[in-house]
């Protein structure tokens, strides 16, 4: 037994943090957003789907390239990694793609066919398709450049047309493989 | 320390005596209350026994003559050493009274130096969990109790000591698990099966922080956790532990996923019989759980045993083993929008993606070990051990092929402990081998890994007086070979010092840690998200230097503080890396890292001795240093602040308590989009217990505030769980 019991103030260092920290700020329900959420860093927008979803669909991914790929070797220089798949059940989908600050020259939806890549990716041309990309508003034939600067960049909308997808060889013919 | 000075004389007289006798009695505290599970030992011999639930002990085969008996090994009490005279064939009653203290400054630990030593002589930081610490937490597996030790954090089952491991899906633990000193990391993945042992078979846990490779080799990169099982008592005894409880439902209607309350329950029964020379115990048990989220059901069955043959007061053979079988569903990642019936929510943490429905795993694991220990003289102790650890898992995946892996890890060690001057100097030397054989469809077929090591460490007191300073120096060399290839060597030195002063005890150490890549990391071959994960047989061991300065001191007689500053420089860390030139994911030696910080543990009895409070705080600066094109950045899955507060009030057989854990939000995570929710962790556990005679009941409300959080990507940690545990000891 202590001859002079310490004051109850000794309990304060324990009680105060518990009370301060105990307020519940854990995971909470979060309704599907329609604009970039507050505090979010990345890009947001709506993906609209056209055409019939092929039966052989494994997934549709949304990725961003800091520079437009110059060769097949550049095709995996995308963010984020692992790539983020988007659901295709509805006719449209509002996405949020968390990526770091920077300039992105190609924000593209990639369709992936069921199946595994060969070890040397020699079958990538048959498994991957460009299904749609964010287009320059003044020249819709060209990819639009997106800049992320500490917040969410909104309205990066993309149309995915399952009837008009392009294989890798569309951009990089076999003769220009490397 | 004066007692130590007369040990040689006492031992000499003991050896000269003829015949044996029995010593029996009780161990009580200063109020007369019996102390169960206290260790009563004869100094300098392999004779020891634990008190039963009534605080009674009986120790036979004690050589006639003058011996030193000790009683202690109970956290919260000072050990007592008494000199007694034994007359052959004349039983002697000897009772002990242990004086309570906030924290005994002299608990004995066996892990830090591979031999028994006083905690105050250890050059590294050590956290201890007694059986009462484990019991009051009313846990089902031992990791749930170890999780609350200062500086320790489990991330979805992966143990971190001062941020050592992060989270890598259970692969390649940077912490070594020992069961009674025998390595028990999996032979294929290098991870840890925390349900390998029945929780009630564990008497205490020692956690040694910082690199321990100078004695333990690979995997002791960030620390060592040693599970020490109960001694088998003399006589016929039984121990029943039954537990049951319920999981809270999601607190939000949008996240409700079932229309019933999830339950869990189980039981363990241990029966033992012991004579003075031969003892054995068997534990059977099992538990099942509905889980707290979708597809989270688990069944667990367990069989464990321990046998002990004390051929003489100086020779002891211990054989122990355990086998556990789990069948569990695999929740995998929680459901993101569109991946399930999301009900308009961005994510559903209690549901899983429909692509993972039906996945389940069967996991069998077991070990068998034999240890022969002998103390031929007061200056020499040696022990030899052999062990076998087997793991076998099968992942059943409805939408793809099933994966399986079988791993056998055989181990052997011969260790000697010498006291050349019969005093405080100690030299420990040993040789150790570990052979792993695996067969798996995702780890590249069949592979074999051999580890051969030799080590030595010496401790020497400096100066005289009652509490001299100690210097420790040692090293270990490990030779590794894969599939019969060339040997590669790793040398791991360690030096340390302990300096007792009037104001407390200072300690300092510098040591090297390393971890050989697991066979899984070398040879994994699978497909993730459409990408090939390819093997990398050329992986090299991770290496690190760890430095630590620590100080322990009592404060005002009612508190104890232990603080340590630590600094680890790690290189060649193994991480999954996207190789853009070959378009594959591979484990590679890519990262350099720095982990530094403060580790603080405080225990106190403010206001009244009935109230015991604890505080554990770790400040962690964990940075991946720049390499190639990657700039310096926070190490993934490491919190900057880790705080644990505990308070327990005991009055007679009743006790109530609470424990609070805060872990700051990870600065960086991997393998998940940055947009995924990430929160700080604030978990409050409430507990109460009642004990009377051989029976006790404990109630635990874990995560009482039903705080929802995750550590690993898209993996919800347990919700509020109410458990009632009943223990009866015969």
The domain total for chain A is 1
Range of the domain at B6: 2-100
CB count in 10 Å sphere of residue B508:
18
Tell me: do B356 and B475 sit in the same domain: yes
* Any B CB within 8 A of A12 CB: no
Tell me: do B228 and B348 sit in the same domain: yes
Q: How would residue B102 be classed by pLDDT, with cut points 50, 70 and 90?
A: low
* Closest residue on chain A to B355 (Cα): A58
pLDDT, mean of residues A19-44: 79
Query: Chain A contacts of B675, Cβ < 8 Å?
Result: 40, 42, 96-98
* Any A CB within 8 A of B629 CB: no
What is the number of CB-based contacts under 8 A between chain A and chain B? 134
d(CA B725, CA B730): 17
In a domain, A16, yes or no: no
Nearest to B707 among A18, A24, A82 (CB): A24
Tell me: do B96 and B156 sit in the same domain: no
CB count in 10 Å sphere of residue B252:
14
Pick from B535, B509, B510: which is nearest to B522 by CA? B535
d(CA B178, CA B520): 21
Which two three-digit tokens encode residue B281?
């115990």
Q: What 8-state DSSP symbol labels residue B142?
A: H
d(CA B354, CA B336): 10
d(CA A109, CA A132): 5
Tell me: do B92 and B134 sit in the same domain: no
State the SS3 of chain A. Answer: CCCCCCCHHHHHHHHHHHHHHCCCCCCCCCECCCCCCCCCCEEEEEEEEECCCCCCEEEEEEEEECCCCCCHHHHHCCEEEEEEEECCCCCEEEEEEECCCEEECEEEEEEEECCCCCCCCCCHHHHEEEEEECECCCCCCCECCEEECCCEECCCCEEEECCCCEEHHHHCCHHHCC
Tell me: do B574 and B427 sit in the same domain: yes
Nearest to A27 among B528, B584, B679 (CB): B679
pLDDT of B637 > 70? The answer is yes
Range of the domain at A162: 32-176
Please tell me which residue, B401 or B532, carries the higher pLDDT value. Answer: B401
pLDDT, mean of residues A4-31: 62
Q: What is the pLDDT of residues B662-683, one digit of tens each?
A: 999 998 887 666 567 888 999 9
Q: Of B34, B68, B100, which one is at a domain's C-terminal end?
A: B100
pLDDT of B559 > 90? The answer is no
Q: What is the pLDDT of residues B457-480, one digit of tens each?
A: 999 988 766 667 889 999 999 999
In a domain, A96, yes or no: yes
Sorted by sequence, the CB contacts under 8 Å of residue A38 that are 6+ apart come out as none
Indicate left, alpha or beta for B105 from its phi (over 0: left) and psi (-120 to 50: alpha). alpha
Q: How would residue B530 be classed by pLDDT, with cut points 50, 70 and 90?
A: low
In a domain, A39, yes or no: yes
Tell me: do B77 and B157 sit in the same domain: no
d(CA B244, CA B303): 20
Query: Chain B contacts of A10, Cβ < 8 Å?
Result: 604, 606-607
Angle in degrees, CA B296, B301, B307, rounded to 5? 145
Nearest to B607 among A6, A97, A124 (CB): A6
Tell me: do B404 and B441 sit in the same domain: yes
Tell me: do B224 and B139 sit in the same domain: yes
Displacement of CA B634 from its chain's centroid (Å): 27
Chain B contacts in chain A segment 109-168 (CB below 8 A): 112, 116-117, 119-121, 124, 127
Which range (A85-89, B258-262, B496-500, B715-719) has the least confidence?
A85-89
pLDDT, mean of residues A62-76: 86
- Interface contact A25-B532, CB threshold 8 A: no
Which two three-digit tokens encode residue B725?
């545990």
Percentage above 70 pLDDT, chain A: 82
Chain A contacts in chain B segment 701-720 (CB below 8 A): 705-710, 716
Which range (A114-123, B209-218, B530-539) has the least confidence?
A114-123
Tell me: do B145 and B80 sit in the same domain: no
As a whole number of angstroms, the longest Cα–Cα distance in chain A is: 90
Pick from B571, B602, B576: which is nearest to B587 by CA? B576
Tell me: do B474 and B538 sit in the same domain: yes
Query: Chain A contacts of B575, Cβ < 8 Å?
Result: none
Interface test with A, best of B534, B583, B662 (most A CBs within 10 A): B583
Contact B66, B11 (CB under 8 A): no
Q: How would residue B11 be classed by pLDDT, with cut points 50, 70 and 90?
A: very low
* Closest residue on chain B to A36 (Cα): B675
Which range (A95-99, B56-60, B565-569, B627-631) has the least confidence?
B627-631
pTM for the predicted model, two decimal places: 0.81
B549 three-class SS: strand
Contact B712, B682 (CB under 8 A): no
Query: Chain A contacts of B710, Cβ < 8 Å?
Result: 27
The domain total for chain B is 2
- Is cis: bond before A85, omega within 30 of 0? no
In a domain, A18, yes or no: no
Tell me: do B83 and B124 sit in the same domain: no
Tell me: do B129 and B95 sit in the same domain: no
In a domain, A4, yes or no: no
Q: Say which CATH number the domain at B716 has.
A: 2.40.170.20
């Amino acid at each position: 037994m202590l001859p002079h019991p310490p004051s109850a103030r000794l309990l304060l260092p324990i009680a105060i943090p518990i009370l301060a920290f105990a307020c519940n700020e854990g995971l909470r329900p979060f309704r599907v957003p329609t604009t970039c959420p507050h505090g979010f860093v990345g890009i947001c927008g709506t993906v609209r789907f056209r055409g019939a979803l092929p039966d052989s669909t494994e997934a549709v991914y949304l990725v961003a390239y800091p520079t437009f790929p110059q060769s097949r070797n550049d095709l995996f220089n995308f963010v984020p990694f692992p790539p983020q798949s988007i659901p295709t059940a509805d006719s449209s989908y509002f996405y949020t793609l968390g990526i770091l600050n920077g300039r992105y020259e190609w924000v593209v939806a990639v369709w992936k066919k069921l199946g595994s890549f060969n070890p040397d990716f020699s079958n990538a041309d048959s498994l991957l398709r460009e299904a749609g990309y964010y287009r320059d508003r003044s020249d819709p034939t060209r990819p639009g450049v997106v800049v992320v600067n500490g917040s969410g960049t909104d309205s990066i909308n993309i149309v995915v047309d399952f009837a008009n997808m392009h294989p890798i060889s569309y951009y990089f013919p076999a003769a220009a493989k490397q | 320390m004066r007692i130590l000075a007369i040990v040689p004389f006492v031992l000499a007289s003991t050896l000269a005596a003829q015949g044996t006798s029995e010593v029996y009695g009780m161990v009580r505290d200063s109020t007369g209350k019996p102390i169960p599970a206290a260790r009563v030992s004869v100094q300098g011999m392999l004779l020891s026994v634990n008190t039963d639930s009534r605080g009674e002990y009986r120790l036979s085969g004690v050589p006639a003559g003058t011996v030193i008996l000790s009683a202690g090994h109970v956290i919260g009490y000072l050990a007592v050493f008494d000199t007694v005279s034994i007359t052959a064939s004349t039983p002697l009653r000897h009772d002990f009274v242990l004086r309570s203290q906030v924290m005994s400054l002299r608990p004995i630990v066996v892990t830090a130096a591979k031999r028994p030593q006083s905690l105050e002589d250890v050059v590294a930081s050590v956290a201890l969990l007694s059986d009462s610490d484990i019991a009051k937490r009313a846990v089902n597996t031992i990791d749930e109790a170890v999780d609350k030790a200062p500086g320790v954090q489990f991330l979805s089952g992966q143990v971190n000591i001062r941020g050592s491991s992060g989270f890598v899906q259970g692969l390649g633990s940077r912490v070594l698990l020992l069961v009674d000193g025998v390595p028990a990391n999996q032979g294929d993945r290098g991870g840890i099966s925390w349900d390998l042992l029945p929780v009630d078979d564990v008497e205490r846990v020692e956690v040694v922080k910082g690199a321990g490779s100078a004695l333990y080799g690979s995997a002791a990169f960030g620390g060592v956790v040693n599970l020490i099982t109960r001694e088998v008592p003399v006589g016929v005894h039984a121990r029943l532990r039954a537990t049951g409880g319920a999981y809270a439902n999601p607190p939000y209607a949008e996240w409700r996923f079932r229309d019933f309350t999830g339950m869990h329950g189980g039981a363990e029964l241990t029966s033992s019989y012991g004579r003075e020379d031969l003892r054995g115990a068997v534990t059977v048990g099992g538990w099942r759980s509905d889980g707290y989220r979708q597809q989270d059901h688990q069944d667990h069955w367990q069989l464990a045993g321990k046998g002990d043959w004390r051929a003489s007061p100086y020779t002891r053979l211990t054989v122990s083993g355990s086998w556990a079988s789990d069948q569990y569903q695999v929740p995998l990642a929680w459901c993101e929008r569109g991946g399930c019936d999301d009900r308009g929510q961005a994510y559903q943490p209690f549901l899983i993606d429909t692509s993972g429905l039906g996945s389940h795993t069967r996991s069998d694991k077991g070990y068998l070990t034999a240890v022969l220990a002998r103390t031929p003289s007061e200056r020499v102790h040696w022990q030899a051990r052999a062990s076998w650890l087997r793991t076998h898992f099968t992942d059943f995946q409805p939408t793809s092929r099933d994966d399986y892996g079988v791993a056998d890890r055989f181990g052997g060690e011969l260790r000697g402990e010498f006291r050349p001057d019969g005093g405080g100097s100690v030299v420990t030397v040993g040789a150790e081998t570990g052979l792993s054989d695996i067969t798996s469809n995702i780890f590249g077929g069949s592979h074999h890994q051999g580890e051969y090591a030799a080590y030595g460490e010496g401790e020497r007191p400096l100066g005289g007086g009652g509490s001299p300073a100690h210097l420790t120096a040692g090293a270990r060399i490990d030779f590794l070979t894969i599939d019969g290839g060339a040997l590669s060597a790793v040398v791991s030195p360690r030096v340390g010092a302990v300096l007792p002063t009037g104001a407390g005890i200072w300690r300092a150490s510098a040591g090297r840690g390393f971890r050989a890549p697991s066979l899984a990391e070398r040879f994994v071959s699978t497909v993730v998200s459409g990408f090939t994960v390819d093997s990398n047989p050329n992986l090299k061991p991770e290496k690190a230097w760890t430095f630590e300065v620590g100080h322990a001191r009592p404060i005002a007689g009612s508190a104890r503080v232990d603080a340590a500053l630590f600094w680890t420089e790690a290189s060649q860390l193994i991480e999954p890396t996207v190789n853009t030139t070959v378009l594959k994911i591979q484990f590679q030696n890519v990262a350099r890292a720095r982990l530094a910080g403060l580790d603080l543990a405080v225990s106190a009895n403010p206001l009244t001795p009935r109230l015991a409070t604890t505080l554990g705080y770790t400040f962690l600066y964990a940075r991946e240093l720049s390499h190639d094109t990657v700039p310096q950045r926070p190490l993934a899955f490491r919190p900057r602040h880790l705080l644990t507060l505990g308070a327990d009030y005991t009055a007679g057989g009743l006790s109530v308590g609470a424990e609070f854990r805060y872990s700051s939000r990870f600065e960086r995570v991997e393998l998940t989009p940055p947009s995924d929710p990430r929160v700080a962790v604030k978990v409050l556990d409430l507990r109460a217990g009642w004990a009377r005679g051989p029976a006790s009941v404990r109630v635990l409300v874990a995560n009482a505030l039903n705080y929802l959080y995750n550590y690993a990507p898209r993996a919800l940690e347990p919700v509020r769980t109410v458990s009632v545990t009943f223990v009866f000891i015969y």
